[in-house]
Amino acid sequence: MKYCSRIFACFAICLATCAAGYGQEVVDTAPPAHGNGLAALGAQPATYIASDADNSAVRLASCGECGVDWGAAVGACGDAAACGDCGIGSCCGRSRCNATRYFWGEFLYLNPRDADVAFADPINWSSSQLVSPIQIGPVGVLDPDYNPGFRTGFALELDCWSRVGAEFTHFESGTSAASSIAAPNVLHSLVAHPATASATASYLAADARLDIDFDLVDVDYRCIFACGQNYAVNYLVGARYGHLAQEFQSQFINNGVEEVDTEITFDGGGIRFGLEAERHSCRSGLMVYGKAIASFVAGEFSADYQQRAATDAIVVDTSWKAGRVVAMTDLEVGAGWVSRNGGLRLSCGYLINGWFNTVNVDEFIGAVQTNNFVGLGDHMTFDGLVARVEGRF
């Protein structure tokens, strides 16, 4: 494992060595099969792309493409300590094993799903058909679309194996929709309380808006637990704070304006854990990555429902609160590029962020309409593009 530690220690600077120049190709011979060298790991001779910074006396093994030299590994440079705690030092042409500070920013372009709200239904009106009206057109639906967000963070290295970091994520989405119809046909409200006059009222126009926003704050510890000549796998454990806000507003127009508004918020904190993996090409600087992280956040949902008549009188006014443990999943895959010195990393991928055991707008409105608030629990997801810029120093 100590050699695995050395390999991972040079991981961040591997591309600086292998991509510093694309010059003459040199095929190395096998390293000595004795001493404390990487030969014990079954390393094979490798093809190496030489650069101006290379020392011809340095023998390179399979991970030598990433800057590990056999001279240091088997003690040819003298005392093994000369190459530092991470096996990288003066005889390797490096003064430290890795970057110690990490900063990154990400652009998010996400689409909230499983959060749509149907608010108006066009019908061929007849008082005898209100129990089961006949639809004559498309239902007015608020279906969120892609919206931008961002994520930013930093991390500090503890040693060649691990680091601690913090990250903040912010996302806002808003979608609007309108529906209208010509008499004698009418619009039927799908969000009004059925015991009010608004439930049987007829409208010629309606519009609505739905906003879904969330904030996440993550603090975690990452540590390497598996590595090889061109890959590494981290595990992470930490804590998460989550805030979710949903706001629904609607207006129905006939001789006046009737409104139905709902607001739902969630705040909570909990634990998170998961895996991150990367696989690099030491020749081109390209890499692929994947992340799978789960969080369990305990908190409280607060929901309000208010219905106003055309006279501006409040005809329905209710609220509800309950605790929930919300399970969250963050799944991400993508590809990227690392600069020659490892200090700049660019990547782009696809993200799916799931929220489970939530209370959604359409579900809460349905609970108000049926006077049944038992067992509320739904889910929503956010998926889309994530583009990242990271600096390591």
What pLDDT is stored for residue 229 in this prediction? 83
- Boundaries of every domain in the chain: 2-92, 101-117+144-179+206-392
Q: Give the pLDDT mean for 253-260.
A: 88
Are 199 and 254 within 8 A, CB to CB?
no
Tell me the pLDDT band of 318, cut-offs 50, 70 and 90.
very high
**Ranges assigned E (strand) in the chain:** 25-27, 47-49, 101-113, 117-123, 140-142, 147-157, 162-180, 186-189, 205-227, 231-253, 257-280, 286-308, 314-338, 344-358, 378-392
CA distance 362 to 160: 49
CATH, domain 101-117+144-179+206-392, list 3.40.50.2000, 2.40.128.90, 3.30.70.1290, 3.40.50.2300: 2.40.128.90
Q: Which residues contact 292 (CB under 8 A, 6 or more apart)?
A: 274, 275, 329, 330, 331
What pLDDT is stored for residue 175 in this prediction? 97
Q: Give the pLDDT mean for 263-283.
A: 95
Are 364 and 354 within 8 A, CB to CB?
no
What pLDDT is stored for residue 98 in this prediction? 55
Of the candidates 103, 211, 109, the one whose C-alpha atom is nearest the C-alpha of residue 150 is 109
Q: CA 103, 67, 335: angle at the middle one, nearest 5? A: 45
Distance between first and last Cα of the chain: 26
Percent of the chain with pLDDT over 70: 72
Joined tokens for residue 95? 């003064």
Q: Give the strands of the sheet with 186-189, arranged side by side.
A: 140-142, 117-123, 186-189
What pLDDT is stored for residue 199 in this prediction? 65
Percent of the chain with pLDDT over 90: 60
What pLDDT is stored for residue 99 in this prediction? 66
Q: CA 318, 324, 329: angle at the middle one, nearest 5? A: 125
What pLDDT is stored for residue 95 in this prediction? 33
- Region of 97 on the Ramachandran plot (φ > 0 left; ψ -120 to 50 alpha; else beta): alpha
Q: What rounded mean pLDDT belongs to the chain? A: 79
Q: What letter does residue 133 receive in the DSSP assignment?
A: P
Give pLDDT tens digits for 7-65: 334 434 443 333 343 333 333 333 333 333 323 333 333 333 333 333 322 222 233 33
pTM of this prediction exceeds 0.85: no
Give pLDDT tens digits for 354-382: 999 999 999 999 999 999 999 999 999 99
Q: Which tops the pLDDT comparison, 275 or 28? A: 275
3-state DSSP assignment of residue 331: strand
Joined tokens for residue 15? 């591309």
Give pLDDT tens digits for 82-113: 333 333 333 333 333 456 899 999 999 999 99
Of the candidates 186, 203, 192, the one whose C-alpha atom is nearest the C-alpha of residue 129 is 186
DSSP string, 60-109: B-GGGGGT-BHHHHTTTTSSGGGGTTTT-SGGGT-SSSS-SEEEEEEEEE
What pLDDT is stored for residue 12 in this prediction? 40
